């Protein structure tokens, strides 16, 4: 089905039938169909619904990004590069160009692969998502949106419509370990911090988000708490050492190795984030 309005799309989902699936970019969904892992009776193609693919500036310095914005456009849009460079960077690491030309922000978020870059980026940016369903529109924070392995807050009749991304600070870092360029991450970490004036390491805003190290994007709370603490002997190494997570074991890597990567990548991205802050401060 190819609805022409959002209302029609929502209507098509209104039965709550699990055999009705949304088709956006198709880069995650269609492989599952081809492999017969999913057998939807109906695909609701959102690509015909206008107004879902825009990137607009918010009054507060942030962005509103439509769910159907393609990854390729996230990487290239001047507004994103300027206001949410972390997001542009994360999007660049999704697959290859052909995948990024079709894959959408909304699709990636709704699919919620725990090793995906964009869900973690939006958690790090403290984004809010707008969901539209039979009962109307509601907002869910990124933190609350990702609820488990491939599981989100989306109800069976809801569509993710857009993401509101607050203004991003200069203190950010992104790193991932992949087996090959463009693969899903074995593990990755995103830092989005605001360094406390007068401190080398301590911050007054701290988000350290791991991907590929849990069943959803993982905030490294203990490490963040250290950054937010008053401990003036703090070092990057100590923060990294406090990273705790419960990663999966699979064919690509063990939990132990992922945990190790989470720690060292946290050190790396925190270092980058603090350097960027320094650079921004000076410039």
Partner 1 sequence: MSGPWVGAPLPVKEDVRLVAGRGRFIDDLGLPGMLHAAVLRSPHAHARIRSIDARPALAYPGVTAVITGADAARLSGPIRPLIPTTAAVPDYCLAVDVVRYVGEPVAAVAAMDRATAEDALELIRVEYEALPAVVDPYEAMRPGAPLLYPELGTNVVWHDTLSYGDVDAAMARADGVLRERFVIQRYASTPLETFGAMAAYDPGTDGFEFWTNDQRPGLTISILAASLGVPQSRLRLSCPDIGGAFGNKRRPAYLLICALLSRGAGRPVKWIEDRVENLTALMHACNGVMDVELAYRDDGTLLALGVRDVADEGKNLLTPTQHNLIKLGNIANGYRIPAIRYEAWSVLTNKCPSGANRGIGKPFMCFAVERSMAILARRLGLDPAELRLRNYVTAAEMPYTTPPGAQYDSGDYPATLHTALERFDYAGWRAEQSRARQEGRLLGIGIATSVEPAGTNLASYELVTGRRSVSGSAEAAMVRMEPDGNVRVAIGDPASGQGYETVIAQIVADELGLVPEAVSVARGFDSSVSPWLYLSGNYSNKFSVTDVGAIVGAARLVADKLRRLAGHRLEIAPADLDLRDGAVVVRGAPDRRVAFAELCRTAYADVLGLPPGEAPGLEAHHAYQNPLAAPVDADRRVRSQLVFSNAAHCCLVEVHPRTGVVTVLKYVVVHDCGRELNPLIVEGMVHGSTVHGIGAALLEEFRYDEQGQLLTATFLDYLKPTATDVPEIEVDRLEHPSPFTALGAKGVGEGGAIPGPAAVANAVEDALSAFGVTVRELPITPERVWRWIVRDQKS
Partner 2 sequence: MIEPAERMAIRLTVNGREIAREVTARRSLADFLRDDLMLTGTHVGCEHGVCGACTVLVDGRSARSCLLFAVQLDGATVTTIEGLTPPTGLSPLQQAFCDRHAMQCGFCTPGMIVVSTELLEKNPAPTAGEIREALAGQFCMCTGYVNIVKAVEQAAATARGARGEAS
**Which residues are at the interface with partner 1 (CB under 8 A)?**
35-36, 177, 179-184, 186, 251-254, 257, 260-261, 264
178 binds partner 2 (CB under 8 A): no
* 178, 184 contact by CB (below 8 A): yes
Rounded Cα distance, 212 and 150, in Å: 12
- 186: helix, strand or coil: coil
59 binds partner 2 (CB under 8 A): no
251 binds partner 2 (CB under 8 A): no
* 103, 28 contact by CB (below 8 A): yes
59 binds, among partner 2, partner 1, none (CB under 5 to 8 A by kind): none
56 binds, among partner 2, partner 1, none (CB under 5 to 8 A by kind): none
36 binds, among partner 1, partner 2, none (CB under 5 to 8 A by kind): partner 1
Task: Choose between 250 and 275: whose C-beta lies nearer to partner 1.
Answer: 250
Task: Choose between 36 and 282: whose C-beta lies nearer to partner 1.
Answer: 36
Q: Is 228 exposed, middle or buried (0-12, 13-18, 19+ CB in 10 A)?
A: middle
Cα 128 to Cα 136, 138, 167: the distances in Å are 16, 10, 12
Tokens of 24: 């956006």
254 binds, among partner 2, partner 1, none (CB under 5 to 8 A by kind): partner 1
Rounded Cα distance, 141 and 99, in Å: 27
- Give residue for tokens 């509103």: 64
Across the beta sheet with 218-219, what order do the strands follow? 172-177, 187-195, 203-211, 218-219
75 binds, among partner 2, partner 1, none (CB under 5 to 8 A by kind): none
Total of residues contacting partner 2 (CB under 8 A)? 25
Q: Which stretch binds partner 2 (CB under 8 A): 50-58, 115-123, 135-143, 178-186?
A: 178-186
Where on the chain is the footprint of partner 2 (CB under 8 A)? Answer: 1-2, 23, 26-27, 30-31, 34-35, 41-43, 45, 47, 72, 95-99, 101-102, 180-182
């Amino acid at each position: 089905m190819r609805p022409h309005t959002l209302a029609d799309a929502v209507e098509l989902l209104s039965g709550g039938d699990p055999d009705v699936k949304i088709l956006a970019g198709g880069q995650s969904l269609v492989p599952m169909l081809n492999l017969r892992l999913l057998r939807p009776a109906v695909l609701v193609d959102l690509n015909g619904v206008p107004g879902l693919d825009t990137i607009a500036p918010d009054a507060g310095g942030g962005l509103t990004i439509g769910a159907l914005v393609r990854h390729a456009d996230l990487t290239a849009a001047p507004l994103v590069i300027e206001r949410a460079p972390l997001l542009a960077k994360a999007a660049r690491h999704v697959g290859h160009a052909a995948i990024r030309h079709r894959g959408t922000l909304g699709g990636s978020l709704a699919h919620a692969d725990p090793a995906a870059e964009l869900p973690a980026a939006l958690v790090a940016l403290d984004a809010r998502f707008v969901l539209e369903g039979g009962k109307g529109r509601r907002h869910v924070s990124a933190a609350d949106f990702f609820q488990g392995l491939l599981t989100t807050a989306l109800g069976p009749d809801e569509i993710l419509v857009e993401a509101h991304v607050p203004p991003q600070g200069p203190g950010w870092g992104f790193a991932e370990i992949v087996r090959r360029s463009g693969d899903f991450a074995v593990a990755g970490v995103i830092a989005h911090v605001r360094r406390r004036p007068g401190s080398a390491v301590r911050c007054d805003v701290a988000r350290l988000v791991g991907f590929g190290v849990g069943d959803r994007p993982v905030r490294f709370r203990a490490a963040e708490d250290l950054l937010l603490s008053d401990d003036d002997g703090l070092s990057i190494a100590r923060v990294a050492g406090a990273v705790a997570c419960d990663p999966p074991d699979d064919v690509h890597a063990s939990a132990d190795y992922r945990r190790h990567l989470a720690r060292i990548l946290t050190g790396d991205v925190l270092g980058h984030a603090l350097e960027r802050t320094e650079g921004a401060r000076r410039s």
